[in-house]
Structure 1
């Protein structure tokens, strides 16, 4: 337990868990997508190559985000939010639909992206920045100040996502909204009212779309329609049951041979359970639990309002989405169609989530003790590059060539100049 009190514990936990989940995801995407990729493209590695390319793009972005100072992260929220809304608007008019018929994808220069995925990162950073600024100005005394402009901005974002028939992402965005209100200290009545509003909104969204109502009811007893509405849920359970304690081995899944729909994305946890067994699934659950612990540890130790809000928002996004995905696979939550963070196939989901992990690592270094520990080290190449660009790493307090800045340099007190 003494090791957990070290200043850089959260930093290394977040980075380590992120690396393990991403590596596991690459392995499982390769294993679970080989059959479908071979059938669709003639190559067993088509889906894996796309995922590997996304990870190669996300890794430098993660490292860059992990070195950005808090002031830069605060400034990124509004631009990313604006870009996400623009892309979501374009998706409504020019989007593509695949498999389910939902219009969630946008073709940009021959590349297919899902704008609702980076919207989660945008809303978390923008919402934390807005509330932090309000608190600094002493404008969080009334409920109107708490909700403006957070509620209109979040509502517009959710509306744009819903127009693409993406209920799962909408629920994640609403969860981020509630988490921000909770951390900022919203009055109990206001918080309960917002929960009621969210529940009512979800109820309306389910009622207006018949297929959503079928999903809400079929998961309770998938055996009633095993060839249609209950097919995916049942085969997910078959995969988990087949795996037993230790699994059938990596690559030896039977369900991925055309039985389980979307084994590389929405139901990759089922393939993990089949090939790695109960031990593998518990490992994944434990890793997400560890990430949640590290993220909340950053928030509890933070002295800056933005750091506290952003750490909770990003942690809630990743962990809640993970357990919703796992819940759909094990049959305790209706199928929502959201991926398992860092593990499921899909570059549009993987890259923003890797950036979020990098942001959490940067926030973890905002603790005074962590800054002191990092200041004793030689600056990395990323820190030197940020120094040359004028984005000095807030954690090290060093200039572009590793020399201490004037703000951090302290004169040595000798016997002659020591104050009497």
Structure 2
């Protein structure tokens, strides 16, 4: 039964506010480029508006759907995502851009299966951890099988040149395992064993090495590998405390690459200043805090793991994007949830929020 208080209104307000604000900022960041490329300054605004409407519809549907239903579809959904990730490599079905093969071409829309796979992984792990919690403290029957499953997904994502999604899924899965009771020494041991592999992945691909060297010193190659982060710094620095004003940013005018997608926070910083960026970061922090609150008070373990996984996913993606934009992490293609342009990310994020809201409506008690 739902609580008399209903859904967590703060989570709902944060998700809706961030999404609506994202639509405005996508227009601000893309209108000039859209006018030049598509002869329609509203091109990205109209598409993002459609994505937002579809995302809100998905959120309303999932927030009304009893979250226990996801137990029944956890395994088929998980396997379907594995199949979809393979489909991107098939000519005529998969789409590529800038050396990465991450999309399935649909009429008028490119779908990114890795976005759905992130939520499918959380649903599957919540279902599996609920069933197998007593086995988690055993390496061979509790921890190792999850490593094999996770490893298969990561291999496919790395083949797609999507290291950002691979790192995100890996971190979410390991965090959920830790929260479910996996022995810390298993996780630490896995990290030590994985380090040589991570090092090899970085040095074996020239584009990854360029990102690392640009991260360490972007001014060594300011017109190529270091160009994007330098332009991002210029945008953030120009914004100052209060910003240049909505729509008044200059770096988006063909200087800052991916201004309306991965680096939309730079545009926010230039136009709304440090204050605007801090407000956005605070909204994400509040969203994650309330999501963890829901996980603590969920009526069963499945709901706890489900809410906790979604909280980690949204918080981690927001943190990585903000760290990349500010130069704290090497550049990688990872959208800022709710704000960045893109249908797959926005629709799936709002769908996940809907699931989270349904868990909140059935909390057995509010934590202090």
TM range (shorter): over 0.9
2: CA distance, partners of 1:169 / 1:106: 16
Q: 1:201 to 1:309 in 2, by over 3 A?
A: farther
Structure 2 residue corresponding to 1:67, chosen from 32, 50, 64: 64
Match of 1:184 in 2: 180
The CA deviation at 1:10 is 7.4
Paired positions, count:
362
Match of 1:416 in 2: none
1:223 and 2:219 aligned: yes
Alignment of 1:264-303 (within 5 A): 264-303=260-299
Question: 4+ runs of 1 displaced by more than 6 Å?
Answer: none
Given that 1:10 and 1:295 are in contact with CA atoms closer than 8 Å, whether structure 2 keeps it comes out as no
* Larger RCO of the pair (alpha carbons < 8 Å, separation 6+): 2
Match of 1:111 in 2: 109
Give the CA RMSD over aligned residues: 1.8
The answer for unaligned runs of 5 or more in structure 2 is none
Deviations 1:16-65 (A, max 9, x none): 11011101110100110111111111000111111111111111110111
Alignment of 1:240-279 (within 5 A): 240-279=236-275
1:145 and 2:141 aligned: yes
The answer for unaligned runs of 5 or more in structure 1 is 1-5, 371-420
Structure 2 residue corresponding to 1:234, chosen from 221, 230, 235: 230
2: CA distance, partners of 1:280 / 1:366: 34
Structure 2 residue corresponding to 1:19, chosen from 16, 21, 30: 16
Match of 1:128 in 2: 126
Q: Which has the larger radius of gyration?
A: 1
Deviations 1:274-325 (A, max 9, x none): 0111110000100110011011111222341111111111111111111110
Task: Give the 3-state SS of the residue equivalent to 1:219 in structure 2.
Answer: helix
Task: Give the 3-state SS of the residue equivalent to 1:112 in structure 2.
Answer: strand
1:305 and 2:304 aligned: no
Structure 2 residue corresponding to 1:54, chosen from 46, 51, 56: 51
The CA deviation at 1:93 is 2.3
Alignment TM-score, normalising by the size of structure 2 = 0.94
Q: 1:319 to 1:9 in 2, by over 3 A?
A: farther
Deviations 1:117-161 (A, max 9, x none): 1111111111111111112xx433412222354222222111111
Given that 1:174 and 1:198 are in contact with CA atoms closer than 8 Å, whether structure 2 keeps it comes out as no
Task: Give the 3-state SS of the residue equivalent to 1:368 in structure 2.
Answer: coil
Q: 1:274 to 1:102 in 2, by over 3 A?
A: same
1:41 and 2:70 aligned: no
